[in-house]
Amino acid sequence: MLRVFIAFLLLCLFTVRVSPALAQSLIYESGGVLTPELAATNVHYYDLDIKVNPADSTVLGSVEVHFHVVNPSNRIELALDPRLAITGIERIKHTETTHLRYIRSDTTRTFYVYFNQTLQPGSSEILRIHYEGKPRVAPRAPWDGGMVWAKTPSGDPWVGVAVQGNGAWLWWPNKDHPSDRPDSVAINITMPDDLVVASNGRLRGETVPEEGWKTWHWFVSTPISNYNVTLNAAPYEIISEPYESITGEEFDITFWVLPEYLEKGKKLFPQFAEQMRFMEMVAGPYPFRADKYGVVHSPYLGMEHQSIIAYGANFENNNLFGIEAGFDDLHQHELAHEWWGNLVTAWDWRDFWLHEGFGTYMQPLYAEHIAGKEVYREMMSYIRTRIIDETDREVAPRESMSSLEITRGTRGGNVYFKGAWFLHTLRYLVGDDLFFTTLRRFAYPDPAMEEVTDGSHMRYATTDDFLYTVEAVTGMELGWLFDVYLRQPVIPELYATRRTGYVRLQWIVPEGYRFPMPLEVAIDGEVVTLVPERSGVISFEVPDHIEVEVDPNNWILKNVRLGFEGE
């Protein structure tokens, strides 16, 4: 997701002003500390069966939760917005159905389901939760999420849902933690029969439950994060073409577009395959070949919903970076998340930069691919202006974070932009060959995994996993680089002084950190690479009339401070 940070600023201001009673009210966030009740279960399958009615903005239906018991427990923890009523929870055991007791609260998403006897590790359970109501309407999708009940230009319903930053519990009951993706999900959506419903995975069929309504049976055959489960409905037109993966397999690229935008959609459509080809070259085969690659015209800017990317930009190139890059960067960003976020997934929100830093860096890389190194550098320069100097919040904290905590304040932007610049600097340090091998191996650690489509290729990852991959590929020790850029907030400073006949450059990082970063220096136009001494100092003699430029290609994320002669 691409965030607009003013939203967080407003949120912070608002939080300060609310009364103490309101301050204790429901927090729309996902994940955080894994409680014992969450850790007791491993959900392997959800079956959603929901009627969605645009006429009164309601949902009504049931969700089956199939889980394995991991630790003994008498109760399990699930989440659903208190504004949605639970009308019953059944335990399904063989042919028997029994009703279970549950406890909810108005002030938290969490509810507990109680069992008469301790659940035994290794056993499996199925719950069916019946619920109904009016889900939260997104105040500002996709940044502040929920349902989106929009109208097409012709006045027809145009429905979407985006909940990444807030949690899928806003519209269906589930175990809310990023560390537990189900292995597969059935998404059965019933809506008025004049609408086309596009969702994740493959369409297994359509049925008519009652006159005027149609049920769309979608099925996701691989693990999927709860926030990626989505629905989109409108009188869509469909543009679809087969695409041949770099593996030789064929799958469909399909675009659900509003009829009013069909011509614009046709014009944009070829970019999807071109960008797909590039991402496959960089990060390996498209991970969800068993399902499809879908893009759906959405009533909000965008979201990386697995195999059904939400696209709500304006069908023009250059949405994000303020420069002429010559491609639809919003689509490219969301597509990139199919690898960085959906194939490789942070199991705690603290490592969200693995989604967004990587996701953002793919746009300059693509710009370089189609328009050359200069455009790449221009885009990196723009991204540099979005990094905020920060002394409190590091990009990759070590403690557990909820979805709101990791995007709070300036960290919200730095997760994207400092994350992207970290990769840029890493590329400089290790060189192109090893850098691109690292990207590919981080997506698919074992080349054999690139042949797999059944979900066993999908992984959870952390920042330390990425460090492990980089070090394994490069043979370099790079803990210092990760520590300085990701584990503490202060950007390294290059303190540069020039005395008569002499230049002195010194890396300054906070106490306890090392930063032996080699530095390119252009001396009279000739670029040399200089390695600092243990003290972080690089010094050399040079006549006063010779021009000296440090880091002329702007590879290193740093602040430069100029000292005065004689200081």
- Residues of this chain that interact with Zn ion (CB under 5 A) are 1, 356, 359
Residue type, 450: E
Q: How far is the CB of 406 from Zn ion (least distance, A)?
A: 13
Taking the complex as a whole, how short is the minimal distance between the CB of residue 480 and Zn ion, in angstroms? 28
Measured from the CB atom, is 424 or 558 closer to Zn ion? 424
Minimum CB distance to Zn ion, residue 337 (Å): 6
Q: CB-wise, 215 or 230, nearer to Zn ion?
A: 230
CB 111 within 8 A of CB 80: yes
- Taking the complex as a whole, the smallest distance from the CB of residue 278 to Zn ion amounts, in Å, to 17
Least CB distance to Zn ion at residue 367 (A): 17
Closer CB to Zn ion, 341 or 536, in the complex: 341
Residue 354 main-chain phi, psi, to 5 deg: -60, -30
CB-CB contact of 300 with 291 (8 Å): no
As given in the structure block, the two tokens for residue 311 are 């696209």
- For residue 383, which of 422, 350, 431, 354 has the smallest C-alpha distance? 422
Using the minimum distance from each CB to Zn ion, give the nearer residue, 299 or 359. Answer: 359
- Give min distance, CB of 308 to Zn ion, in A: 15
Residue whose CB is less far from Zn ion, 183 or 338: 338
Given a contact cutoff of 8 angstroms between Cβ atoms, the answer to whether 307 and 317 are in contact is no
Q: Which residue is nearest to Zn ion (CB)?
A: 359
Q: Which is nearer to Zn ion, 280 or 356 (CB)?
A: 356
Q: Are strands 124-133 and 85-93 parallel, antiparallel or unpaired?
A: antiparallel
**Assigned token pair, 486:** 């990701």
Q: CA-based angle 468:164:51, to the nearest 5?
A: 135
**CB 357 to Zn ion: min, Å:** 10
Contacts 24+ apart (CB under 8 A), 335-339: 335/272, 335/275, 335/276, 335/279, 335/309, 336/279, 336/362, 336/363, 337/304, 337/309, 338/279, 338/286, 338/287, 338/288, 338/293, 338/304, 338/306, 338/307, 338/309, 339/279, 339/283, 339/284, 339/287, 339/443
Of all helices (H) and strands (E), which one includes residue 217? strand 213-220
Taken as a whole, the chain contains a residue count of 567
Question: Nearer Cβ to Zn ion, position 77 or 356?
Answer: 356
State which residue, 156 or 356, has the beta carbon closest to Zn ion. Answer: 356
CA 164 – CA 2 distance, rounded (Å): 11
197 vs 310, beta carbon nearer Zn ion: 310
- 484 contacts 549 by C-beta, under 8 angstroms: no
At its nearest, how many Å lie between Zn ion and the CB of residue 73? 35
What distance in Å separates the CA atoms of residue 304 and residue 302, rounded to the nearest whole number? Answer: 7
Q: Name the residue nearer to Zn ion (CB basis): 218 or 352.
A: 352
Phi first, then psi: give them for residue 41, nearest 5 degrees. Answer: -125, 155
What minimum distance in Å lies between the beta carbon of 356 and Zn ion? Answer: 5
Q: At its nearest, how many Å lie between Zn ion and the CB of residue 245?
A: 23
What is the radius of gyration, based on Cα positions, of the chain?
A: 25
- Name the minimum Å distance from CB 225 to Zn ion: 13
- Pair 12, 148: CB distance under 8 Å: no
* Minimum CB distance to Zn ion smaller for 191 or for 461: 461
Backbone torsions φ then ψ of 296, nearest 5 degrees: -130, 135
Query: Shortest distance, CB of residue 302 to Zn ion, whole angstroms?
Result: 8
Nearer to Zn ion among residue 184 and residue 463 (C-beta): 463
Give the Cα separation of 309 and 334 in Å (integer).
Answer: 7
